[in-house]
Structures are given as C-alpha cells and as structure tokens.
Amino acid sequence: MKALLSHSVGGPDTLQIGEAASPEPAQGEVRIRVASAGVNFPDLLIIEDRYQFKPQRPFSPGAEVAGTIDAIGSGVEGFQVGDRVLAMLGWGGMAEQVVAKAPRVFVIPDAMPFEEASAFLMTYGTSYHALGERGGLKPGETLLVLGAAGGVGLAAVELGKAMGARVIAAVSSQEKLEIAKAAGADDGLVYPQGALDSAAQKALATEFKAICGSEGPNVIYDPVGGDYSEPALRSIAWKGRYLVVGFPAGIAKLPLNLPLLKGCDVKGIFWGAAIDREPAAHRNATAELLELYTSGKIKPHIHARYPLAQAAEALKMLASRQTAGKVVIDVAAS
C-alpha cells in the first residue's frame, strides 16, 4: 500500500511517499481502508520526536481517519466489513490502510462525508472534553476562545454556542474573525502577531477584559500558548476556569500569583489520555457529538484538501498557522 513515511526526525520535508506492508488486524482491532485523513498539530510534533509518543520508524503520521472497514480481528463485536467509520489513532493514518483498536472506532451517519468525518473527532472531541468535562461551561457564561479560527478553536466556538454560552473569539486576522463569527461567535478581536513585550501583554489583557465584560470571561479556551496566555489569564473572571489545550506559539510561563488573586483554576486538557482512561465517557461524548452533527449544530470547516502525494505540503500549511478550520488528506483519490 502507499503511505506517507517518516524515516528520520525532522519536519514535513523529511517525509516521503513509499510502499508499506498492509497491516493485519490483531485481536480487538479492525482494519480500515482509508478514504480521508485529518491533519492535526500533533502530526507535526510526532515526526519531530516532540510528542508524548515516539513510534518506531518508518511510520506514517495521521491521528484521525475515516473510511470503510475491510477486515476485522478476533474478539471484535458491533462492526462488520463495509461499515463506514471514523477512528482515532496515535499515528499511521496517512496511508491507504490502517488498523485501529475497536473502542476508538465509531460508525458514522450515512449522510456524513468521509472528509468531514476525518476532520471531526480530534477537534470536537478535544473541545467537548475541555468545555464540558473539564471547564464546566454553563449557559449564560462568557467563553473566550484563543485561536478561534483554528481546528479546535472553531470547534470550541460552535460547542460553546451549543452549550448556551456567550462566545468571544480571539484571532490573528480580520478574515479569521469573520470565519469565527460565521461559526457562531458573538463578538471578537484581532490580537497582534509576533512576540509581545510586557506592555503589549498588559494592553492585550485590557482588550480581553473590555470585550468580555467587566467581570472577564468565565472560561478561557487556550490552544495557542506563548505570549497570549498570560494576558488572557489576567482577564479571567473570579473563579474562572483556564483551559490549557496546546501551545503552537510556545509553552507559556504563567505567574502563579494570578490564579491566587483570581481564585481561578488552571486545567490541563489531555483528551488523548482521557480516551483511554475514561472509555465510557469517551463513547458517550462521541455519541452526543454525532447527534449535534446530525442536528446541524456543528459542522467541520474544511480549509484545504490535498491528495496523499502532497500530504507533506498539507503539514507545511498547518505549520504556517494560516489555516482556518481543518486540512484533510484525500487518500482515496491518490
């Protein structure tokens, strides 16, 4: 089978299209003929050996796929060959076939295109776990979403509205702000790009608080990090919840006097670990997300599509942080 392979540590330029053996499903696994694969920030980290997991090379990046089951291992119940599914993986998705553990595989609605299915669970699953299970977002509260036009950011905007919150989008361009508002954000602002000195950070904190209201945001969803985290935390409401989702702009160093003064919680969001540690909650959450999709309340925003032969370019696009929504790999068309 064809696959995008990482033979050595490095960025997207180190990846090569090559031939790999078709995997066979072991006990408790199914094999999926991949139609589409989502592109996510962990894909960049894993090829650079900067992720929590370091698979043996050569391997294919790609943590989420959609396609059709074409083989089933022993001990698997509830699936049959031909089922249209999405699946969460650690890696391996940017290939024509992949095996997945059965608990990480879900049948998708007939009306759900494969490209939307491959762009679905990583972003909405992360955001649902963050806002609902960790953040305790309540109707009427104010939610500030940083990076609100990215994959997880847009998902957080949509889910925040579905949960009854007032959603404020923070983004890096006016174009991205319009995309976030189209997804349901009530208001928003464009924050400066690049390094922020102390004065610029304090000015941004003032902007956050001004647009969120005098009390500040009750919940902050931060998949950006870097120099944006401290200004956001400075704006938080009393007993607010600050959700640490990711840090493509760099790992922030937060002064711990701020949580003390604000009486707020800083909560880490590691959805990947939560899937394995809390499988029942994961199944229930995924079922609820698919219901929200079917009812039209959430829908993945596809920024760009690439064939498998150009998957490295898709990773470069994601690394540029110029995307809005998700980038997907059309494996079936390759």
The CATH number given to whatever domain includes residue 140 is 3.40.50.720
- For residue 56, give the DSSP letter: P
How far apart CA 272 and CA 276 sit, in angstroms, is 7
Range of the domain at 317: 2-120+300-330
Specify whether 102 is located in the same domain as 160: no
Specify whether 115 is located in the same domain as 141: no
pLDDT tens-digit map of 172-200 = 999 999 999 999 999 999 999 889 999 99
Tell me the whole-structure pTM to 2 decimals. 0.91
| Per-residue pLDDT of the chain in tens (334 residues, 90 and over written 9) | 999 999 999 999 999 999 999 999 999 999 999 999 999 988 999 999 988 889 999 999 999 999 999 999 999 999 999 999 999 998 999 999 999 999 999 999 999 999 999 999 999 999 999 999 999 999 999 999 999 998 999 999 999 999 999 999 999 999 999 999 999 999 999 999 889 999 999 999 999 999 999 899 999 999 999 999 999 999 999 999 999 999 888 999 999 999 999 999 999 999 988 998 999 999 999 999 999 999 999 999 999 999 999 999 999 998 887 788 899 999 987 6
Specify whether 200 is located in the same domain as 75: no
The CATH number given to whatever domain includes residue 70 is 3.90.180.10
Cα distances from 215 to residues 129, 163, 210, in angstroms, run 25, 20, 9
Residue 279 located in a structural domain: no
Specify whether 128 is located in the same domain as 268: yes
CB 157 within 8 A of CB 124: no
Specify whether 239 is located in the same domain as 323: no
Specify whether 170 is located in the same domain as 51: no
Site of tokens 């592109």? 39
Specify whether 316 is located in the same domain as 248: no
88 Cβ contact list (under 8 Å, min separation 6): 63, 64, 100, 104, 121, 122, 125, 275
How far apart CA 102 and CA 26 sit, in angstroms, is 10
Residue 281 located in a structural domain: no
Cα distances from 315 to residues 39, 121, 136, 166, 318, in angstroms, run 7, 18, 33, 33, 5
Specify whether 174 is located in the same domain as 261: yes
Specify whether 199 is located in the same domain as 243: yes
Specify whether 191 is located in the same domain as 247: yes
Specify whether 127 is located in the same domain as 114: no
pLDDT tens-digit map of 276-292 = 899 999 999 999 999 99
Peptide bond into 58 cis (omega under 30): yes
- For residue 99, give the DSSP letter: E
Residue 285 located in a structural domain: no
Q: Which amino acid is at 134?
A: R
Which residues lie across from 307 on neighbouring strands?
330
Q: At 115, is the secondary structure helix, strand, or coil? A: helix
Q: Which two tokens stand for residue 309?
A: 């032969």
Residue 295 located in a structural domain: no
CB 219 within 8 A of CB 143: yes
Specify whether 144 is located in the same domain as 258: yes
The pLDDT value recorded for residue 334 is 60
Site of tokens 């800083």? 266
Residue 190 located in a structural domain: yes
- The count of structural domains within the chain is 2
Q: Which two tokens stand for residue 279?
A: 């499988």
Q: Which amino acid is at 70?
A: D
